[in-house]
């Protein structure tokens, strides 16, 4: 069994068996996003809400290292550090890269992963590999720019804003090119797909077939969460029966993740047991020194409560 396989067996988002045994930690060091999705509203935080893009604080890389050291002292089965927002990991590449480098120096055995919309993958895929990030999740909602334009209003790429079909075409092209490059170079790629009834649902089997062809390891078809304040706030949440029917159709091509919790950007612990409130840096509840000292003694912690996170 190679190193990537061993790591995947300890990654709760990539292995069903692992999610009962191993904990993950999402570090919210990436506040900016470079696309605008109709199902997303990051201008909201509620400690009782669990969905992507939600966090109670944004950390600097140094504060993220401090928090990691604290969590590692208290959660022995911590195996994965992920960067999943609250914006896009690659739209905040310097923060993402520095965070991974700091933690890798402190804990070389930890598994690193990141989640991205894929817009910047062609720009940073090689650096991702060189940094030792072996698991990457890319959200790909369809292959048709006309359909994607109804999901993503615009993208910011190369210093310009592209709206509608033009932006959607750039996004899809970069997603697919990035997935193929990563997979060919040994990165384990998971593809997330948000199932939106009447918008992209009939296109999902085609997405799964395509990303399989590009080398993806697994797909995660997720229900739409109609976020308050989003364009899709009045859309129906995807019916569990229809969601599972779609997964059953697509499992003929790729394994399907069925245990996803659509986690917050600051989630900590087992997938079914988020312990992030125990470790809030901004509130001071986690401002104690880890046993035996650690990085918290040596840096000034910067953790900023989040109430308004602008896209763009």
Asked whether 34 and 42 are in contact (CB, 8 A), the reply is no
pLDDT in tens, 4-25: 556 766 556 665 555 446 788 8
Looking at residue 40, its pLDDT comes to 82
Q: What is the mean pLDDT of residues 173-181?
A: 98
Looking at residue 55, its pLDDT comes to 66
Report helix, strand or coil for 66.
helix
Q: What is the mean pLDDT of residues 31-57?
A: 69
- Alpha-carbon distances, residue 158 vs 9, 11, 122, 123, 198 (angstroms): 37, 33, 12, 10, 32
DSSP code string of 95-136: HHHHHHHHHHHH-TTSEEEEEE-STTHHHHHHHHHHHT--EE
Which of these ranges, 71-75, 132-136, 249-253, 295-299, has the smallest mean pLDDT? 295-299
DSSP code string of 125-161: HHHHHHHT--EEEEE---S-HHHHTTTEEEEEETTEE
pLDDT in tens, 217-276: 999 999 998 877 888 888 988 889 999 999 999 999 999 987 655 667 788 876 566 655
- Which sign, positive or negative, has the C-alpha torsion 238, 276, 104, 301? positive
| CA–CA dist 87, 33 (Å, integer) | 4
Number of residues in the chain: 312
Q: What is the mean pLDDT of residues 192-196?
A: 95
- Which sign, positive or negative, has the C-alpha torsion 77, 81, 82, 83? positive
Q: What is the mean pLDDT of residues 153-158?
A: 95
Query: Is residue 296 predicted with pLDDT exceeding 90?
Result: no
Mean pLDDT of the chain: 81
pLDDT in tens, 45-78: 444 444 555 666 889 999 999 999 998 888 878 8
Domains of the chain: 11-301 (3.20.20.70)
Q: Which residue has the tokens 């709760």?
A: 12
Looking at residue 15, its pLDDT comes to 57
Query: Is residue 206 predicted with pLDDT exceeding 50?
Result: yes
User: Burial code of 98-137, b = ≥16 C-beta within 10 A, e = fewer?
Assistant: bbbebbbeebeebbbbbbbbbbbbeebbeebbebebbbbb
243: CB partners within 8 A, 6+ apart: 195, 221, 223
DSSP label of 193? E
pLDDT in tens, 77-98: 888 899 988 899 999 999 999 9
Model pTM score: 0.83
- Which sign, positive or negative, has the C-alpha torsion 23, 73, 51, 38? negative
Looking at residue 310, its pLDDT comes to 38
Which of these ranges, 62-76, 144-158, 220-234, 282-296, has the smallest mean pLDDT? 282-296
Q: Quickly state the pLDDT bin for 212 (edges 50, 70, 90).
A: very high
Looking at residue 90, its pLDDT comes to 97
Output the six-digit token pair for 258: 């069925």
Bigger pLDDT: 275 vs 185: 185
Looking at residue 278, its pLDDT comes to 63
Asked whether 111 and 164 are in contact (CB, 8 A), the reply is no
Residue 237: Cβ within 10 Å count: 11
Query: Is residue 311 predicted with pLDDT exceeding 60?
Result: no
Looking at residue 302, its pLDDT comes to 46
| CA–CA dist 201, 218 (Å, integer) | 18
Asked whether 308 and 43 are in contact (CB, 8 A), the reply is yes
């Amino acid at each position: 069994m190679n190193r990537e396989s061993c790591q995947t067996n300890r990654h709760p988002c990539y292995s069903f068996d692992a999610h009962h045994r191993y904990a993950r930690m999402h570090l919210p060091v990436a506040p900016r996003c470079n696309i605008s999705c109709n199902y997303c509203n990051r201008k909201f935080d509620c400690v009782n809400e669990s969905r992507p893009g939600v966090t109670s604080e944004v950390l600097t890389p140094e504060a993220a290292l401090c928090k990691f050291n604290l969590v590692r002292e208290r959660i022995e089965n911590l195996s994965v550090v992920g960067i999943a927002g609250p914006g896009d990991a690659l739209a905040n590449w310097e923060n993402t890269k520095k965070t991974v480098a700091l933690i890798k120096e402190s804990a070389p055995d930890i598994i690193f992963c990141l989640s991205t919309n894929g817009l910047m993958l062609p720009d940073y895929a090689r650096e991702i590999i060189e940094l030792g990030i072996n698991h990457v999740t890319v959200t790909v909602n369809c292959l048709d720019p006309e359909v994607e334009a109804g999901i993503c209003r615009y993208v910011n790429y190369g210093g310009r804003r592209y709206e509608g079909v033009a932006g959607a075409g750039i996004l899809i092209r970069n997603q697919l090119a990035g997935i193929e490059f990563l997979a060919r170079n040994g990165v384990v790629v998971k593809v997330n797909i948000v199932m939106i009834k009447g918008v992209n649902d009939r296109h999902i089997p085609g997405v799964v077939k395509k990303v399989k062809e590009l080398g993806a390891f697994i797909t995660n078809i997720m229900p739409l969460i109609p976020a308050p304040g989003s364009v899709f706030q009045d859309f129906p949440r995807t019916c569990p029966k229809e969601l599972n029917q779609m997964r059953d159709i697509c499992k003929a091509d790729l394994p399907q993740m069925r245990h996803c919790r659509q986690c917050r950007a600051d989630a900590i612990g087992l997938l079914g047991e988020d312990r992030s409130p125990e470790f809030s840096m901004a509130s001071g509840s986690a401002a104690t020194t880890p046993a035996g000292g650690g990085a918290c003694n040596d840096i000034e912690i910067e953790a900023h409560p989040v109430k308004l996170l602008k896209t763009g």
